[in-house]
Amino acid sequence: MSGDIRSEGNSNYELQQSVSTWTAFCATLKRDLLIAFKRRNDLLNPVMFFLIVVSLFPLGVSPDPMELTRISAGVVWVSALLASMLSLDNLYRADYEDGSLEQLLLSPQPLYFLVLAKNIAHWLISGLPVVILSPLLAYMLYLPAEAYTTMVLTLLIGTPVLSLFGSIGVALTVGLGSRGLILAVIVLPLTTPVLIIGAKAVTDVMFGVPLASHFALLGAILALALVMSPLASAAALRISVN
């Protein structure tokens, strides 16, 4: 009888813990989104940067449709990577400066889920608008119609990886005064495979090459990033703040 009561008590405690963790996850996600919408410049900067960079390529390279078609996939993906890099500094900087990052580290809830919530908020702010705008810019670069779906899907899988891997670099450098170059050195090697696979998938679809391996690799990288990046970011934050 006492064993049943103890087992029921443990089950209730685990349920309360899971509900509390979910509440903290949602609260962190909502907080970051609200802060981003209040800071309109931080919200618009990555999108405007993405638009400007893609728009300048026809002027700087060539307005020839054949040439633009050939480089369109790489242009969109490189621009998406740079736009993500531009917004990464906002991931933990404001929290570090106002002291709320220390409170986050002292929270009784698992830091993994709180960091994951911040990463998801960053992707919703900087990555999702890029995915939405990409077909319009691809049309401007004369990307063939049959490649639009592949481009959107690869960006939809790949841009969260940029946010997740970028979070590690930001967490490692959050306590540094000048971190632009160091952040790029840390993040770019981690995100380059996603850039190569995503751009190659969009290019290959134009030639009828099967894409199963490309999506399998992107999916595997995303799964790895979802599991490992919040853990690495949490450990890096503890090292940087303490």
| Rounded Cα–Cα distance for residues 147 and 138 (Å) | 9
In this prediction, residue 222 carries a pLDDT of 94
Instruction: List the chain domain ranges.
Output: 2-241
**Separation between Cα atoms, residue 48 and residue 200, nearest integer Å:** 25
- The answer to whether the beta carbons of residues 223 and 229 sit under 8 Å apart is no
Q: What is the pLDDT of residues 217-227, one digit of tens each?
A: 999 999 999 99
Task: Indicate the range of 4-13, 109-118, 208-217 predicted with least confidence.
Answer: 4-13
Does pLDDT of 15 surpass 80? Answer: no
Cα angle vertex 86, ends 81, 90, to 5°? Answer: 125
Tokens of 118: 């911040």
**pLDDT tens per residue, range 162-211:** 899 989 988 888 877 666 678 888 888 888 999 999 999 998 888 888 88
- As a whole number of angstroms, the distance between CA 129 and CA 51 comes to 11
pTM: 0.85
In the chain, pLDDT over 90 holds for what percent of residues?
Answer: 22
Is residue 14 predicted with pLDDT exceeding 60? no
Asked whether residue 11 carries a pLDDT value surpassing 60, the answer given is no
In the structure, how many helices (H) and strands (E) does the chain have? Answer: 10, 0
User: Residues 35-68: pLDDT tens digits?
Assistant: 888 877 777 888 888 888 888 888 877 778 888 8
The region, left, alpha or beta by phi > 0 then psi within -120 to 50, assigned to residue 196 is alpha
What is the predicted pLDDT for the residue at 177? 63
Long-range contacts for 12-19 (Cβ within 8 Å, ≥24 apart)? Answer: none
Three-state DSSP class for 207? coil
Tokens of 233: 């970011």
